Chains A and B, each alone.
Chain A
Amino acid sequence: MVSSTFEFMFEFNGQAIETDKQGYLKNVEDWQQDMAPILAATENIELSDAHWEVIHFVRHFYLEYKTSPAIRVLVKAIGQSLGPDKGNSKYLYTLFPVGPAKQATKIAGLPKPAKCL
């Protein structure tokens, strides 16, 4: 049993993982691949390969640029790397209906993008 030392948290492999009140991880380094399906479930998303591609993409984006991409930037960056079929908001909204930037960053263990205040 993990003692609840954080205001917002969930338990993962016997460890307390701190989040903000909307469920975004507080520490980017806490994230592991196996955590993604759990985070996705809180968004009612079941992860497919297509989801994973975007999740890895936003995670790499964050690790390189140290910021979570807002939707416009995400669309553009994905378009440049994965091609126009995937670099458009229609495709990304199909995968992440509530908001690709918002949901993909959450599942990838990143802070919420600044634009989604």
Chain B
Amino acid sequence: MKKVCIVFRHSPYGTTTTREGIDFALLSASFEQQVSLVFCDEAVLHLLPNQQATLAGSKDYVSVFKAFDLYEIDTVLACKQSLETLGINQHELAIDVQIAEAVAISAALADADEVLVF
């Protein structure tokens, strides 16, 4: 079992990047890899509630975030600095995440066997 850390750094729906990363994360978790997720930069916008991806011509890949625990993805970090830059409070977020200082994210990157950035 490998520790796979998947970092998201792109805003929702402008590209399919995050969707590909989520597919990869869920598949990795299904194959019993230990998956952790990091949301930073505008990718933290994926954590806002009341999104309607289909209106932007995208598949809804955000609803599955509520099922992360079923996939045994227990570590979900959101970059504190990115949230603050965008004026987002923790209580606004649609799912439970750990708000992480940059050093905590650095530690997560160092701790993983593989880091993939989407």
Contact = CB atoms under 8 A, between A and B. Distances in A.
A64 B63 contact: yes
Interface string B58-93: 011101101100111000000000000000000000
- Which of B27, B31, B32, B71 has the largest number of chain A CB atoms within 10 A? B71
Contacts of B67: 64-65, 67, 73, 77
B59 A114 contact: no
B59 A66 contact: yes
Contact of A76 (B23, B27, B70): B70
Contacts of B26: 67, 70, 114
Q: Which of B23, B32, B66, B70 lies at the interface centre, i.e. has the most chain A CB atoms within 10 A of its CB?
A: B70
| A72, A77, A114: most-surrounded residue (chain B CB, <10 A) | A72
B64 A70 contact: no
A67 B23 CA distance: 10
Interface of A: 64-67, 69-70, 72-73, 76-77, 80, 114-115
Can you list the 8 inter-chain pairs with the closest CB atoms, starting with the nearest? A66-B63, A66-B60, A65-B64, A65-B67, A70-B30, A67-B64, A115-B30, A73-B70
